[in-house]
Structure formats: structure tokens, C-alpha cells
Amino acid sequence: MSEASPLHVQQEGGVLVLTVDHPPVNAFTLPLTRALQKALAQAARDRTVRAVLLRGAGRVFSAGQDLTELQAVAGESLRRHLQATYNPLILQLRRLEKPVLAALHGAAAGAALGVALACDLRIAAAGTRFLFGFSGIGLAPDSGMSLFFPLLLGLGRATEFALTNQALTAEQALQWGLVNRLAPPERLEAEALAWAQSLAAGPVQAFGLTKRAFNRALLPHLEAVLDYEAHLQDVAGRSAEHREGLQAFLEKRPPRFVELPEDGAL
């Protein structure tokens, strides 16, 4: 029996609906990121696709990168991992000249939050929690988070939530501009699809040109930012802090960073 696909792709009128389905927490894996890359390439080519809706099945949008997969590449280049996964995915999301809406529920953390922030618009269910995540396992930000997080939250708030690794509530996310709208959990799917369909009915070429203008004004160095994130993640991925953070996560205990040697991150 073949393994079930971690991404379901279906078209609802002019909306291409991409549903992440990788139980139990929709963790991102290499097969999932490749499936998303393929679906976004399809959306770019297909003139009948006028908007994209990205959502998650089950109880959360996504808890972020699958850390068991990350453990499997321990000691290898995280730069190469990012160059094959999140870096091209983030660029596809920003370069797709059609509206991309993310529907978020339960939790959005780490790289998955970066993917959501690279989308054009975000609607979240009340009660959703947003977590920076990277510092909890001794890593630097990737997936464009070093740019999108302070751009949307402001540098001060972004720094606070990155260094404390505390979760933002849905209400904070709405108030501070991390998401555009909130919906009751039981209404999220319907409201997200209705919003995506209204976007698909609009002047999509003009939307694409607007997106191109916003990218030029605010994100002209996105590709260079992603490349530098990959360099920094390569450094962090080889550190004692990351080894301890990853081991602590897998053992379900708090990390003991203060017990590491002072040069542990080198």
C-alpha cells in the first residue's frame, strides 16, 4: 500500500485548495514541501486557477518542521536542506501573481509560520496560537521568518517573541497585523473558502501587479535574506545548543542550554 499524500489538492471554482494532511500535527517534511512546490507551479501555469487557499487538516495548521526528519540530517548541511525545501517554496509564494490565502487553526509554528506569513493574507480561527519556535531548539530563523516576523510585528515585538519563544494568541496576532481576520473555529473553513472565492472573482492580473509592486517596495532582497538565513542555520545546526534543544524536544523535557560549554555554539 502506498503512503497517503501529505497534501490534498482540489479545485473549487477558481480556487486551488491545498490541504496539508500529515497527522498528527501536520509537520513539514521533504515530501510535503515538494508537493507544495509542485502545486504552486501548477497554480502559476493554470489559467483557471485565480486564487490559492492553503489550510491544514486535523487539529492544527502545522507545528512546523518534522524534527525526526531534521534529526536524520543531523551533521549534514542545513543550508542544502533549506535550498531544497523552504527557500524555493517561500519564493514561489511571493512570486505567484495570484492571491494566496492561508487559513490557520490550532497552532502555526516555526517554518510553518514562515510559510503562512509568506502568503498574501491570513485568516485564523479564534484560539489559534502562533509560535516562533526556532530558539526553542537552538536554531536561527529560516523560511523568511527573519524578514516577515519583524516586518509584520515590528522589531521590538518580534525580538521579544523570538527570544522568549512565547506563543502569540489569535487576538494579539490580529491586533498586531500578523493575521487579517479571525473566525469562529467552526466557521473557519467556510469563511476562508468564501474569501478566496471572492478574490478569485476579482481582477487577478491587477492583484498580481499589486503583489509585484509590494514585493519590489518591501521585499526586494528576499532571495538574499533566504540565502543568508540558510548560512546562519548551517552554523546553528552544528552547535551544541541545537543538539541539546533537539534532544530535549525528542525527550519531552526542557532544554538545558546553560549547562553547555561557552563555545558550544561554535
Give the pLDDT score at 3. Answer: 67
> How far is C-alpha 194 from the geometric centre of its chain's CA atoms?
22
For 46-57, what is each residue's pLDDT tens digit? 999 999 999 999
Q: Is the pLDDT of residue 44 over 90?
A: yes
Integer angstrom CA distances of residue 245 from 155, 251, 256: 25, 10, 8
Please tell me the distance from the alpha carbon of residue 125 to that of residue 127, in angstroms, as a whole number. Answer: 6
Q: What is the dihedral of CA 162, 167, 171, 175, to 10 degrees?
A: 0
CB-CB contact of 105 with 128 (8 Å): yes
CA-wise closest residue to 81 among 237, 263, 247: 237
pLDDT(224) > 80: yes
| pLDDT score, position 264 | 46
Pick the CATH number of 7-185+201-218 from 3.90.226.10, 3.40.980.10, 1.10.10.10, 3.40.50.620: 3.90.226.10
**Statement: residue 1 has pLDDT above 50:** no
The pairing of beta strand 7-12 with beta strand 51-56 = unpaired
What is the tens place of the pLDDT at every residue in 137-157?
999 999 999 999 999 999 999
pLDDT over threshold 60, residue 125: yes
Q: Flag whether pLDDT at 133 surpasses 60.
A: yes
Query: Domain-by-domain residue ranges, the chain?
Result: 7-185+201-218
